């Protein structure tokens, strides 16, 4: 289990972020400047609305301090490759989704360590774990920002190769994500079963509300349908692998997954219970719209 948490997990996360990087071009970042409204709405939903809703949820449905911190850690995480894939399957604005994931992932190097330290102090008080903000920021920089930058650089230097490799990398990243989730939960199966009645409803409800808020914000600001889908997916689907990694970085659990990581591990399964119905709903709407145009 130590090898999984200390070696396999960070390396897998680094590859997942690298796979995100090779799907990017400099034009994706330029789009933030040219078409800022959709990006700003999506970034606001992820960076502000998501943690606030998680905090309010925990005030309504209290959890043990370690699990509450784990839920907050998850809420601080950006979207990931999974949100990009689900956006694509739903007919959403993939370029917007990728740009949101990339930019918020870079911001997370600063925001996550500071917010994790605050959460630990708020929920645990004097019993809080020692959170080294600088060390956590450096670790996140090395396993998130650097791989994204390397992927972006490779896309710039060898565009033909990366275009061919991109689909393979996406599949490999998805596979690694599933393996990490399954391995983490299998090693902590009894702990998960014991906490699932408390964690499951909280995570599912939070996931559902956030996706609806994402859609609502898109309508409020008169964004296009595909942009609304991307914002909903990136607001509701977080990078569970990063959540597990951050939880393991701030605490060492002998023989298992730290409780700070458990919500992200459970979320890796429950998020599909919410996201997949939305995917089918979006695809159904698109199909009906095409039929209406044809008639």
Q: What is the CATH number of the domain that holds 209?
A: 1.20.1530.20
**Is residue 89 domain-resident?**
yes
Query: What is the pLDDT, as a whole number, of residue 252?
Result: 55
**Is residue 166 domain-resident?**
yes
**Is residue 293 domain-resident?**
no
**Is residue 44 domain-resident?**
yes
**Is residue 286 domain-resident?**
no
Measured in whole angstroms, how far is the alpha carbon of residue 64 from the centre of its chain? 23
Beta-carbon-side half-sphere exposure of residue 43 (alpha carbons within 13 Å):
17
* Residues spanned by the domain of 186: 2-281
Structural domain count of the chain:
1
Task: Report the alpha-carbon distance of residue 101 to residue 126 in Å, rounded.
Answer: 34
**Is residue 287 domain-resident?**
no
From first to last of its 295 residues, the chain has per-residue pLDDT tens of 455 555 666 777 788 778 878 877 777 777 777 778 999 999 999 999 999 999 999 999 989 899 999 999 999 998 877 788 788 888 888 778 888 888 888 889 899 999 999 999 999 887 777 777 888 888 888 888 888 889 888 988 988 888 888 878 877 877 776 776 676 667 667 766 777 788 889 999 999 999 999 999 999 999 999 999 999 999 999 988 888 888 888 865 444 567 888 898 888 778 888 998 999 999 888 888 777 776 6
**Is residue 294 domain-resident?**
no
**Is residue 56 domain-resident?**
yes
């Amino acid at each position: 289990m130590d090898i999984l948490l200390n070696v396999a997990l960070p390396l897998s996360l680094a590859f997942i972020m690298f796979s995100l990087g090779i799907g990017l071009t400099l034009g994706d970042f330029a789009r933030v400047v040219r078409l800022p409204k959709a990006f700003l709405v999506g970034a606001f939903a992820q960076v502000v609305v998501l943690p606030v809703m998680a905090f309010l949820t925990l005030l309504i449905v209290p959890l043990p301090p370690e699990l509450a911190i784990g839920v907050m850690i998850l809420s601080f995480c950006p979207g990931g490759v999974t949100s990009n894939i689900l956006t694509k399957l739903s007919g959403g604005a993939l370029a917007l989704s990728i740009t949101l994931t990339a930019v918020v992932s870079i911001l997370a190097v600063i925001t996550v360590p500071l917010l994790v330290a605050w959460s630990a102090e708020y929920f645990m008080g004097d019993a809080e774990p020692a959170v080294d903000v600088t060390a956590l920021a450096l670790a996140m920089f090395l396993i998130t920002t650097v791989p994204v930058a390397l992927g972006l650089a490779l896309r710039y230097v060898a565009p033909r190769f990366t275009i061919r490799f991109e689909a393979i990398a996406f599949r490999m990243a998805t596979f690694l994500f599933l393996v990490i989730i399954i391995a983490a939960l299998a090693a902590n199966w009894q702990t998960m079963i014991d906490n699932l009645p408390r964690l499951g409803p909280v995570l599912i409800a939070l996931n559902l509300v956030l996706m609806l808020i994402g859609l609502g914000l898109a309508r409020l600001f008169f964004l296009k349908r595909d942009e609304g889908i991307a914002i909903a997916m990136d607001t509701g689907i977080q990078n569970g692998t990063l959540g597990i990694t951050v939880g393991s970085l701030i605490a060492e659990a002998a023989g298992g997954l730290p409780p700070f990581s458990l919500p992200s591990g459970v979320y890796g399964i429950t998020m599909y219970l919410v996201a997949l119905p939305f995917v089918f709903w979006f695809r159904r709407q698109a199909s009906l719209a095409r039929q209406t145009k044809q008639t």
